[in-house]
Amino acid sequence: MVRRGETLPTGAALVILPGSKTTIADLTCFRREGWDIDLLAHLRRGGHVFGLCGGYQMLGRIIRDSEGIEGPPGEAQGLGLLDIETDLSGDKVLAPVHGKCAQNGVPFTGYEIHAGRTSGPDCARPLLHFTDGRSDGAVSADGRVSGCYVHGLFAEAAQRSALLARFGGKGTGISYNEALEAALESVAAHLEAHIDLDRLLTLAR
């Protein structure tokens, strides 16, 4: 995680722009910190960039919010690293999705969560293919910039390992969802052993 006042690490192989609920405002902050300049330098060094949801929208040429969905109505120039544009309009999309990554054929599961619609020439090179026949995301012509709307894409070991392998890394084989479930079960068992949960629930009512 890079915090305000810090620069993007020069030794990074991949920079990930996460999601945002205030995309245009966060893009303004991104530029104020000088990270747009750092990002261009990162790409000149041969680095890769991945954007998720709001981060994906930021990578495009323009973001329009004429209805004021995320803040005051307006629009902003994106980072211009993908030939796409986004209109923040219409109903918010929230749905579980499954499919395969277009780049490596590895299956994925996740949630499509976003407001707005993204289109443009780079969408002709989608990052993901859904089992329902739809595609999602975009990839630059040189393959070093990409993004999509699917949250939880790297929670499963197979997709995360495939990503790390591109940069000479190796995955642990651990499923985030399985590890999370095991941790919750452990906490629940500990509470049950040391707390009168029935009494606690009675008091809560």
114 and 198 share a domain? no
Domain-located, residue 144: yes
Least confident of 2-11, 22-31, 157-166: 157-166
Domain-located, residue 4: no
Beta 150-151 vs 128-130: how paired, if at all? unpaired
Contact of 131 with 146, CB cutoff 8 Å: no
- Residue 45 has a pLDDT of 95
pLDDT-derived band at 150 (thresholds 50, 70, 90) equals very high
**H/E element, 24:** helix 23-32
pLDDT digits (tens, 9 = 90+) for 46-59: 999 999 999 999 99
- Residue 72 has a pLDDT of 87
Instruction: Count the neighbouring beta carbons within 10 Å of the beta carbon of residue 144.
Output: 16
28 and 94 share a domain? yes
What amino acid positions are annotated as catalytic residues?
A: 53, 151
Whether residue 134 has pLDDT greater than 90: yes
132 and 154 share a domain? yes
Whether residue 175 has pLDDT greater than 80: no
Q: How many residues does the chain have?
A: 205
Domain-located, residue 7: no
- Residue 67 has a pLDDT of 85
Domain-located, residue 9: no
The residue segments making up the domain with residue 133 are: 14-174
192 and 163 share a domain? no
- Residue 2 has a pLDDT of 94
Domain-located, residue 27: yes
Domain-located, residue 103: yes
159 and 183 share a domain? no
Instruction: Count the neighbouring beta carbons within 10 Å of the beta carbon of residue 41.
Output: 13
pLDDT digits (tens, 9 = 90+) for 60-91: 999 999 888 888 889 999 999 999 999 998 77
| More confident position, 179 or 45 | 45
Cα 22 to its chain centre, rounded Å, is: 14
- Residue 37 has a pLDDT of 97
Instruction: State the CATH number of the domain containing residue 74.
Output: 3.40.50.880
In eight-state DSSP terms, residue 45 is T
pTM (predicted TM-score): 0.85
62 and 24 share a domain? yes
82 and 180 share a domain? no
194 and 161 share a domain? no
114 and 203 share a domain? no
Number of structural domains found in the chain: 2
194 and 126 share a domain? no
Whether residue 114 has pLDDT greater than 90: no
Q: What's the longest Cα–Cα distance across the chain? A: 62
77 and 164 share a domain? yes
Domain-located, residue 141: yes
Rounded Cα gap, residues 19 and 56, in angstroms: 8
Domain-located, residue 202: yes
97 and 181 share a domain? no
- Residue 154 has a pLDDT of 87
